């Protein structure tokens, strides 16, 4: 059991990394990765939301959509779930844990539109994961996202001070770095 | 048809349920944010310059409401801003004169002698480190705009090789004072119209050799001043704004034009 969970962790974080092999969540990956500290906050916020979103999306799917034969409405239903959930979590944190609320700041509402969150909900259904497996998949995939965005921020901080041809400065070199990192992560395929 | 209708109704129902939960949650988890924080935030300058010592304008606004910061702590907001914040907080604001940054150097092109032509990275701090700087005077404004780059209010421009400050835009945040490698900028009360525009502490001969407008420490201004507002120390004159009556008598006798009087209409000296 423990072994299986560990393998699942490695598979989600390295082999099937959401950003580098599934290309989900590229918007925050490129948008919020200019500093390691903000990238880490974003990654933690995503981890938090993806874990809860997987759970709730599973519940809505298994207990509402499937019994009513409305599986074709999954995408819309999941968007609804995620948006409401993020809103709810934001209110809850503001009241109960102001420290976490101010640390996550603007990133929490931004996650509503992160396709990785919707992606994890949809993929859980497609792979016919159970509840526990869905939640684990959400957490582990988000950890993969965290790893990717923090690595990317580290690379971009280095790029700030290195000599780059004028035409490559800024976004082009970031995209190239992201591509090279994706190729590097491809090396993990076949491990699990 | 019935499938579509069913789907729409069910999704609508889910939406309504979530909406109700959120409405309930917003009541249950409602946090009272002190509305004064927002109001104070609206009164400050909003440049996040950090002159108040708090982390940004939001941090300052929160600190004011908590009573940790003075109502006139935001220098860029000026007296108007302080008065508004004081009104929000229900406090009196002490009368403090508005300060502005002033460049204590007149070493323009042709006035201060140049040591070499600097053609490197455009930064005063860098140029100052190369053979003592591009101007012969080691106190002169280098004029490459480190202060201009750090001014959040766009008040500084470069004219004739030295910094020029737009006093209407200046918010006295002190960023330029901090970033001038020569210490050639100082915050002074805005009414202080008579200013010694030189900080050269070298002896007269050396000072005169590098700049035609240098203060040579001759003490003529000191003798001329009836209010004992001028002291000459380390080879250059200083005016005490508290004692100075802005009469401008010192500027009239200065042999080197080192003292400027922005208000040249002679004010009748009043004997005390």
Q: Contacts of residue A96 in chain B, CB cutoff 8 Å?
A: 29
Residue B217 included in any domain: yes
Which of A77, A84, A96 is the closest to B11 by Cβ? A77
Task: Give the CA distances from residue B249 to residues A44, A180, B4, B267, in Å, rounded to whole numbers and listed in that order.
Answer: 67, 72, 92, 9
Please give the pLDDT value at position B82. Answer: 84
Does residue B271 register a pLDDT over 70?
no
Report pLDDT for B231.
Answer: 92
- Residue B60 is predicted with a pLDDT of 87
What pTM was estimated for this model as a whole? Answer: 0.56
Top-confidence residue, B9 or B67: B9
Helical H segments across B66-160, by residue range: 78-89, 124-128, 146-150
In the structure, what pLDDT confidence band is assigned to residue B264 with cuts at 50, 70 and 90? Answer: low
Is residue B149 one of the residues assigned to a domain? yes
**Residue B53 forms part of a structural domain:** yes
Identify the three-state secondary structure at position A137: helix
Q: In a mutagenesis test of the A interface, which of B12, B22, B58 is the best target, namely the one with the most A β-carbons within 10 Å?
A: B22
**B220 lies in a domain?**
yes
Quick one: how many helices (H) and strands (E) in chain A? 9, 0
Residue-averaged pLDDT of chain B: 86
Per cent of chain B over pLDDT 90 is 38
Q: Do residue B79 and residue B104 come from a single domain?
A: no
Has residue B45 been placed in a domain? yes
Cβ <8 Å between A73 and B7: yes
Q: How far apart are CA B22 and CA A85, in angstroms?
A: 9
Q: Which domain holds residue B40?
A: 35-89
- Chain B closest-CA separation from residue A89 CA (Å): 10
Mean pLDDT, range A30-55, rounded to an integer: 86
Q: What value does the mean pLDDT take over residues B11-33?
A: 87
Assess whether B179 and B202 both reside in one domain: no
| Contact between A80 and B15 using a beta-carbon 8 Å cutoff | yes
Cα dihedral: B27, B29, B31, B32 (round 10)? 30
Mean pLDDT over B142-161 rounds to 91
Whether B216 maps to a domain, the answer reads: yes
Last residue of a domain, one of B140, B163, B190: B190
Q: Contact B194/B244 with Cβ under 8 angstroms?
A: yes
Q: Which residues have a Cβ under 8 Å from the Cβ of B79 and sit 6 or more positions away?
A: B72, B93, B96, B98
The domain spanning residue B120 has which CATH number? Answer: 3.30.70.20
Across residues A155-169, what is the average pLDDT?
88
pLDDT band at B270 (very low <50, low <70, confident <90, very high): low
Partners of residue A76 in chain B, C-beta under 8 Å? 11
Q: CB-CB: which of A64, A70, A91 is closest to B26?
A: A91
- Nearest 5°: phi and psi at A68? -90, 5
- Asked if residues A186 and A21 have their Cβ atoms less than 8 Å apart, the reply is yes
Residue that finishes a domain, picked among B190, B219, B244: B190
Pairing relationship of beta strands B185-189 and B230-233 according to DSSP bridges: unpaired
Same domain? B175 vs B202: no
Distance from CA of B3 to the nearest CA of A (A): 9
Q: Long-range contacts: B16-23, Cβ < 8 Å, 24+?
A: B18/A80, B18/A81, B18/A84, B19/A84, B21/A84, B21/A88, B22/A84, B22/A87, B22/A88, B22/A91
Q: Say yes or no to pLDDT of B268 above 70.
A: no
B212: pLDDT strictly greater than 60: yes
Taking contacts as CB-CB distances below 8 angstroms, the residues of chain B near A95 are: 28-31
Q: How confident is residue B81, by pLDDT bands cut at 50, 70 and 90? A: confident
Q: What is the CATH number of the domain that holds B77?
A: 1.10.15.40
Contacting B with CB below 8 Å, chain A residues are 60, 64, 68, 70, 72-73, 76-77, 80-81, 84, 87-88, 91-92, 94-96, 98
Report the pLDDT averaged over residues B14-38: 85
Mean pLDDT of B148-175: 90
> How far A57 CA lies from chain B's nearest CA (Å)?
12
- Asked whether residue B272 carries a pLDDT value surpassing 50, the answer given is no
ipTM metric: 0.72
Q: How many domains does chain B have?
A: 3
Whether residues A88 and B11 touch (CB distance < 8 A) is answered with no
For residue B271, being part of any structural domain is answered with no
In B, what residues contact A, Cβ < 8 A?
A: 6-7, 10-11, 14-15, 18-19, 21-22, 25-26, 28-31
For the ranges A59-63, A97-101, B88-92, B186-190, the lowest mean pLDDT is seen at A97-101
Confidence of residue B94 (pLDDT cuts 50, 70, 90): low
Inside any domain, residue B68: yes
Domain end marker among B89, B122, B155: B89
Comparing CA positions, the residue from A80, A91, A121 lying closest to residue B16 is A80
Going by pLDDT thresholds of 50, 70 and 90, the confidence category of residue A184 is very high
The helix/strand/coil state of A165 is coil
B260 plus B184 within the same structural domain: no
Inter-residue contact B119 to B204 (CB < 8 Å): no
Which candidate, A116, A179, A171, A178, places its Cα nearest to that of A145? A116
Q: Which residue has the higher pLDDT, B19 or B47?
A: B19
B54: left (phi over 0), alpha (psi -120 to 50) or beta: beta
Q: Which residues of A touch B22 (CB under 8 A)?
A: 84, 87-88, 91
DSSP state of B71: T
State pLDDT tens for residues B128-147.
989 888 999 999 999 999 99
Do B79 and B124 have their domain in common?
Answer: no
């Amino acid at each position: 059991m423990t072994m299986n969970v560990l393998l699942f962790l490695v598979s989600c974080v390295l082999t099937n990394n959401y950003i580098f092999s599934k290309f989900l969540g590229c918007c925050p990956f490129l948008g919020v990765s200019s500093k390691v500290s903000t990238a880490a906050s974003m990654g933690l916020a995503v981890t938090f939301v993806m874990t809860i979103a997987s759970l709730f999306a599973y519940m809505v799917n298994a207990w509402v959509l499937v019994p009513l034969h409305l599986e074709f409405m999954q995408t819309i239903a999941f968007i609804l779930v995620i948006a409401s959930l993020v809103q709810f979590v934001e209110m809850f944190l503001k009241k109960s844990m102001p420290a976490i609320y101010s640390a996550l700041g603007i990133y929490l509402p931004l996650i509503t539109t992160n396709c990785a969150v919707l992606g994890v909900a949809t993929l859980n259904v497609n792979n016919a994961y159970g509840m526990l497996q869905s939640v684990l998949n959400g957490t582990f995939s988000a950890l993969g996202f965290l790893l990717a965005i923090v690595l990317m921020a580290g690379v971009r901080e280095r790029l700030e001070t290195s000599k780059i041809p004028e035409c490559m400065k800024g976004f082009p070199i970031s995209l190239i770095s992201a591509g090279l990192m994706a190729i590097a992560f491809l090396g993990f395929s076949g491990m699990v | 048809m019935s499938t579509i209708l069913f789907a729409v109704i069910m999704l609508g129902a889910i939406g309504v349920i979530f909406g109700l939960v959120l409405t309930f949650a917003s009541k249950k988890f409602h946090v009272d944010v002190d509305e004064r924080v927002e109001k104070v935030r609206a009164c400050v300058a909003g440049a996040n310059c950090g002159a108040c010592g708090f982390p940004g304008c939001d941090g300052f606004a929160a600190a004011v409401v908590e009573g940790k910061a003075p109502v006139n702590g935001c220098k860029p907001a000026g007296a108007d801003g302080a008065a508004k914040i004081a009104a929000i907080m229900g406090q009196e604001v002490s009368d403090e004169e508005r300060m502005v940054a002033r460049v204590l150097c007149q070493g323009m092109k042709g006035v201060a002698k140049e040591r070499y032509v600097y053609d490197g990275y455009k930064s005063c701090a860098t140029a100052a480190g190369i053979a003592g700087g591009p101007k012969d005077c080691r106190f002169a404004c280098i004029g490459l705009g480190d202060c201009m780059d750090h001014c959040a209010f766009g008040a500084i421009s470069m004219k004739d090789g030295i910094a020029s400050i737009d006093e209407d835009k200046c918010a006295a945040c002190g960023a330029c004072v901090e970033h001038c490698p020569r210490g050639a900028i100082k915050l002074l009360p805005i009414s202080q119209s008579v200013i010694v525009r030189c900080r050269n502490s070298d002896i007269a001969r050396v000072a005169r050799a590098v700049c035609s407008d240098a203060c040579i420490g001759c003490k003529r201004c000191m003798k001329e001043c009836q209010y004992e507002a001028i002291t000459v120390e380390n080879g250059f004159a200083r005016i005490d704004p508290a004692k100075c009556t802005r009469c401008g008598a010192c500027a009239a006798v200065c042999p080197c034009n080192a003292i400027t009087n922005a208000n040249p209409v002679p004010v009748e000296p009043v004997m005390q």
